[in-house]
Chains A and B, each alone.
Chain A
Amino acid sequence: EAGVTQFPSHSVIEKGQTVTLRCDPISGHDNLYWYRRVMGKEIKFLLHFVKESKQDESGMPNNRFLAERTGGTYSTLKVQPAELEDSGVYFCASSPFWKLMDEQYFGPGTRLTVT
């Protein structure tokens, strides 16, 4: 089966611009997660979808970040307007509904550079 895919693999934008990241989870996976790794630090949880519903968005840094998962398939994460501190690698992960407490399957990440 195809793994989790993310697009783009790398994005370079200027401060103040808008960027939209996309994640396609493994087909049939109801759980979808977004994470971020900034400046070589730990990977931090951003939010969790179950199908199209936001289950937990406690990790979202501020209201410049908007995540959507219309239809419960792919998800987008929009950053508007981008700031320098948003630079980092954004990972998406998915898992089947019955594996809520179990391992997650990660995509390759999107490296975002804000200049």
Chain B
Amino acid sequence: AQSVAQPEDQVNVAEGNPLTVKCTYSVSGNPYLFWYVQYPNRGLQFLLKYITGDNLVKGSYGFEAEFNKSQTSFHLKKPSALVSDSALYFCAVRGDNYGQNFVFGPGTRLSVLP
């Protein structure tokens, strides 16, 4: 069965410091991995994805994520956090077999402190 774990409910980081939001997954077949962000009173906004190719993928707003197959992880990173990055972040995975659906993690709330 597919599953996603986001081990931290909350991540606090000072503005200007690097941030990491962790995600590990379990999936049948090759993984398709995604990060979404939800700002207050808004829908989920796509940040970045890994389908194939380079393990380091770059996305919107300066975010990047590294796919690590051996550790089944896809951690979200940003070199320098902004207060405006404060939001709820969701990791999602689906297998590459037709018919598999998105499975989301429980979300991690990121607070960037000024």
Listed in ascending order, the chain A residues whose CB lies under 8 Å from chain B are 3-4, 6, 33, 35, 40-45, 48, 56, 58-59, 91, 93, 100-109
Q: How far is the CB of B40 from chain A (nearest CB, A)?
A: 11
Inter-subunit contact A106/B106 (CB<8 Å): no
Inter-subunit contact B106/A102 (CB<8 Å): no
The 6 closest A-B pairs by CB, nearest first: A106-B44, A43-B104, A108-B43, A106-B43, A42-B106, A45-B101
Query: In the docked arrangement, what's the CA distance between A4 and B44, Å?
Result: 11
Known A40-B106, A42-B106; contact A3-B101, beta-carbon cutoff 8 A? no
Cβ-defined partner of A42 (8 Å) among B41, B94, B104:
B104
Nearest A-chain residue to B3, judged by Cβ: A42
Query: In the docked arrangement, what's the CA distance between A42 and B94, Å?
Result: 15
Cβ-defined partner of B107 (8 Å) among A42, A93, A102, A108:
A42
Give 22 A-B contacts (CB < 8 Å), ordered by A residue: A4-B43, A33-B102, A35-B102, A42-B106, A42-B107, A45-B102, A58-B101, A91-B43, A100-B98, A101-B51, A101-B94, A101-B98, A102-B49, A102-B51, A103-B34, A104-B102, A106-B36, A106-B44, A106-B46, A107-B43, A108-B41, A108-B42
Query: In the docked arrangement, what's the CA distance between A42 and B105, Å?
Result: 5
Nearest B-chain residue to A104, judged by Cβ: B102
Q: Hey, which chain B residues are within 8 Å of A108, CB to CB?
A: 41-43
Query: In the docked arrangement, what's the CA distance between A42 and B6, Å?
Result: 10
